[in-house]
Amino acid sequence: MRQEKKIIISIIWIVLGITLLSLGIAEVVDSYWSGMGSALTVIGLLQLIRFFRFRKDAEYREAVETETKDERNAFLRNKAWAWAGYLFVLFSAVASIVLKIVGHDILSMGASWAVCLIILFYWGSYMILRKKY
């Protein structure tokens, strides 16, 4: 059932993408939304191709299952997310200071809020996971 859900979601992305792209061509929406429609259409099509290949190609299926279920890969994915989070906080904090110095107060505040928000997400996730494990 999980694969069927993914196929349905991919079809929804394609339909939404084509709708946005059509509205952009008809100049009902601006180029941002038509670009978003193009991206959603491509993503939906690529996902469908991947799912059908997964169903038909046993070698590809085995490689994908190994990739997703391997403990080493799971560890590396978690480590990569941790690094991405650390780097985001570090760069946002530095950007907040630099932007404040050069006089971009609103952008500085946005970077500061981004740091606060991710730290809040971290804290909430930590509290939930602490109770769970």
Tell if the pTM clears 0.85, that is, is over it: no
pLDDT in tens, the chain (133 residues): 577 888 899 999 999 999 999 999 998 989 899 999 999 999 999 999 988 888 888 888 888 888 888 888 889 989 999 999 999 999 999 999 999 999 999 999 999 999 999 999 999 999 999 998 8
Give the residue among 96, 9, 90 at the shortest CA–CA distance from 44.
Answer: 9
Same domain as 108, residue 92:
yes
Interatomic CA distance for residues 119 and 53, integer angstroms? 40
Query: 50, 69, 88: which is the final residue of a domain?
Result: 69
Same domain as 54, residue 27:
yes
User: What's the domain range around 42?
Assistant: 2-69
Same domain as 59, residue 7:
yes
Same domain as 65, residue 9:
yes
Dihedral sign (CA 99, 96, 89, 118): negative
Tokens of 53: 């290949």
Number of domains in the chain: 2
Packing angle, helices 105-132 and 71-101, rounded to 10: 150
